[in-house]
Structure 1
Amino acid sequence: MIRVALLSNPKSTGNRQTLPRVRSYCASHPDIFHYEVEHVDQIGRALQTIARVEPTVIVINGGDGTVQAALTELYQGEHFKGRVPPIAVLPNGKTNLIALDLGIHGDPIKALERIVEIAKAGVEDHVVARELIALTDGQVGSRPVLGMFLGGAGLADYILYCRNQIYPLGLSNGFSHFLTAVAVVLSLLFGLRGRYMPPSTRPVSISLIRDGQLVGRFAVLIVTTLEKLLLGARPGDDRSGAGNMKLMAVDQSVPALFRFLFASLFRRFGGRRIQGIHMEQGDTIRIEGDRSSVILDGELFEASEGHPIVLRSTAPVPFLRLAA
């Protein structure tokens, strides 16, 4: 009986070192069905094959783009005829936010071992429901792309700056993120600009259907359906029932950014409003701007004049959380 179906992308950065160990582990465990793809276009066929073996759990082992493509295909592909098994994500990409939200971190082999144990013992106590974010251009009939964490405005610019300017230096992820943070703070404090500094952010309009509009320049824009966010922030806790997507926008100013960092580090987010920090919830969010970038689970999208980005929350999807 197949307990776990593992979908791996050998070309993801994390798999360059770990995949040989993953292959060896799967070879010694006949209850794991391991399917490898080298391009996201192959994920649909991979999941069609995986559906035939009727696994107890599906595990995604790849970078952010692989995870996003797999979630999109799982939700829209109908390969499992509406009965998708719980999904787990191995810690592999640059950010690993989905894996962290599900309590999956550290060595991918140890995480896989724990997932196999849960699949054998029974997954019922470990299944949690999470909505996905469906991103479209707002046009009727356009095929949505699905994910769970979106960064926009200045945050998207900083992620792209880190990806294009810092990661190529070959430094560790942690140190790369630290250097990016230092560059961002210097650019905000002293207005430093140039080829090797983060770009200035563009104005953006954010509309929450039924709940008004935010307009301005934001250092941080986050939309997520995850329970946990960067630095422990949990926007929208005081607005239960307002919608499944949590939104947080931080004004592009040094005081607002430091308030955000302080509140995040010391878990001061809650019912009270913090000046310069906007925290909302909604089931439909519209982002408009001239060449305003957003990144959904590692993949880049861009809003332009007359072509907004529209986000909607989906019906709940089952995920596997390691801690019961």
Structure 2
Amino acid sequence: MKPAFLINRESHTVKKNGSVLAHVPQDLVTFTAYIDDFSRLESVLKQAAAARCDSVFIEGGDGTIHGVLSALMHVQNVFNPLPKIILLPGGMTNLVAKQVGIHKPTPAKVKAVIEGRGRLLRHRLPMLEVDTGQVYYGFLFSTGALPNGTRYCLEYIHTKGIEGSRAVLATVYQILVGRTGLRQKILTPSPFSLRTDDHNFAGEHLISLASTLPYPLSGFHVFWGGKPECNKLRLTYARSDAKAIIRHVIGLMRKEKPPKAIRKLSQDGFISLECQRAIIHHEGPIVLDGEFLANTNGTITLSITDPLEFTGVK
């Protein structure tokens, strides 16, 4: 393996505890770059390709992973084939790295991956391609209440030092059982239309989210029907007239959903589906992997890329 190490020293855990990759013996590393300017990522990846790197280790949070993999998709033609991706959680939430990265990374685990030893876990996973007129790549796209909740989490939960799945649960708790004014602000209906090959909706919605990850929201199983690892775009939305919201959100914490529960979700305005492509019109904030994208009142096209190969270690 000829690895490239990309390290964001400003990511939360890296800044707090130091970089794991920085302590890997340098004779094992082909190329190292510290990410201090995201606008240079494409140039950095071209340098890694010129050094004939066949794998890219990314140490940082969800925003770092989103930035590096987006840049990789934009310059993928300089790699042949695409490099293997190895993720080290270095942020506060670490949504992607927890599912397909190195669990509790150490220099010894990284060394084992480079040398092809140990209990390696390989995943082939596509990314979302989000076309708003400008093309973005990521793993979790959302509109409505989730962007509103993300902003609340950043301003009021993360600032208290609450991280990861605890931050997600704390945010959901405050929205559902906290102040009525907060709940009304987060769950404000907004215009939304959706078209796939076999599903259409136009009206107002409370929330939508789409992902290629098996479990994109810590602690909640937000897709039902189909298989968790299906190499398809999975999408769930709630209409503005959705009923029994608190009961259904609590129900999403259960992994298995019996047919009766799935029918009740649909009857109460919660729809989940799989597709290869979805066309959305939405007015309001949109978020991809925790990063706010420029608002658009035009068409948003969601599709999926060819699968990338991720290597993880338990």
Q: What TM-score range do you get, normalising by the shorter chain?
A: 0.7 to 0.9
2:181 corresponds to 1:192: yes
Distance 1:103 1:54 in 2: 22
CA distance in 1 between partners of 2:57 and 2:109 (Å)? 12
Residue 151 (1) aligns with residue 161 (2): no
Counterpart of 1:283 in structure 2 is 276
1:64-103 pair list within 5 angstroms: 64-78=62-76, 80-102=78-100
Could you tell me the TM-score, scaled by structure 1's length?
A: 0.81
* Aligned match for 1:160, one of 151, 158, 162: 151
Work out whether residues 139 and 212 of structure 2, in 8 Å CA contact, stay in contact via their aligned partners in 1: yes
1:250/1:256 contact within 8 Å kept: no
Do the aligned residues in 2 keep the contact of 1:132 with 1:146 (CA within 8 Å)? yes
CA positional deviation for 1:208: 3.3
In 2, distance between residues paired with 1:270 and 1:76? 42
Q: 2:233 maps to what in 1? A: 245
2:308 corresponding residue in structure 1: 317
Which residue does the alignment assign to 2:36?
Answer: 38
Structure 1 residues 274-323: Cα deviation after superposition (integer angstroms, max 9, x where no partner): 323211011222232222x2211121125443x13221111222221336
1:235 to 219, 223, 230: 223
Question: What is the match of residue 286 of structure 2?
Answer: 294
2:119 paired with 1:117: no
CA shift for structure 1 position 8: 0.8
The 10-residue stretch of structure 1 (203-212 or 61-70) with the greater mean CA deviation from structure 2: 203-212
Structure 2, gaps ≥5 residues long: none
Aligned twin of 1:226? 213
Q: Deviations over 1:114-147 (max 9, x none)?
A: 243133127997432211111111x4xx4x1101
Q: Stretches of 4+ moved more than 6 A in 1?
A: 122-125, 239-243
The residue that corresponds to 1:9 in the other structure is 8
Query: In the alignment, what sits opposite 2:249?
Result: 260
Could you say what secondary structure the match of 1:50 adopts? helix
> Does the 8 Å contact 1:43/1:73 carry over to 2?
yes
Does structure 2 conserve the Cα–Cα contact (< 8 Å) formed by 1:263 and 1:269? no
In 2, distance between residues paired with 1:162 and 1:210? 35
Return the alpha-carbon distance in structure 2 between the equivalents of residues 318 and 21 of structure 1: 22
In structure 2, C-alpha distance between the alignment counterparts of 1:240 and 1:169, rounded to whole Å = 33
The 2-side partners of 1:238 and 1:175 are apart by: 28
- Change over 3 Å in CA distance of 1:82–1:21 after alignment to 2: closer
CA distance in 1, matches of 2:7, 2:175: 34
Is the contact made by 2:232 and 2:276 (CA closer than 8 Å) also made in structure 1?
Answer: yes
Residues 211, 41 of structure 1: CA spacing in aligned structure 2 closer, same or farther, 3 A cutoff? same
Q: Pick closer, same or farther for the CA change 1:178–1:245 going to 2, 3 Å.
A: closer
Partner of 2:264: 274
> Alpha carbon RMSD of aligned pairs, Å?
3.2
Change (3 A) 1:153 1:321: same
Aligned amino acid, residue 127 of structure 1:
R
Retained in 2: the 8 A contact 1:234–1:269?
A: no
Equivalenced residues, count: 307
Query: Which 10-residue stretch deviates more, 294-303 or 171-180?
Result: 171-180
Whole-angstrom distance in 2 between the partners of 1:15 and 1:125? 23
- Residues 124 and 72 of structure 1, relative CA distance in 2, 3 Å threshold: farther
Give the distance between the partners of 1:93 and 1:132, measured in 2 at CA.
20
Measure the CA separation in 2 of the matches of 1:70 and 1:123.
26
2:302 is paired with a residue of what secondary structure? strand
- What is the distance in 2 between the residues matched to 1:270 and 1:85? 41
The code of the aligned residue for 1:81 comes to F
Structure 2 residue matching 1:97: 3-state secondary structure: coil
Note closer, same or farther for the CA distance 1:240–1:297 as it changes in structure 2 (3 Å cut): closer
The percent identity for this pair of structures is 18
Question: Contact (CA 8 Å) 1:88, 1:321: kept in 2 or not?
Answer: yes
Q: Once the 2 structures are TM-superposed, how far is the Cα of residue 257 of structure 1 from its aligned partner?
A: 3.9
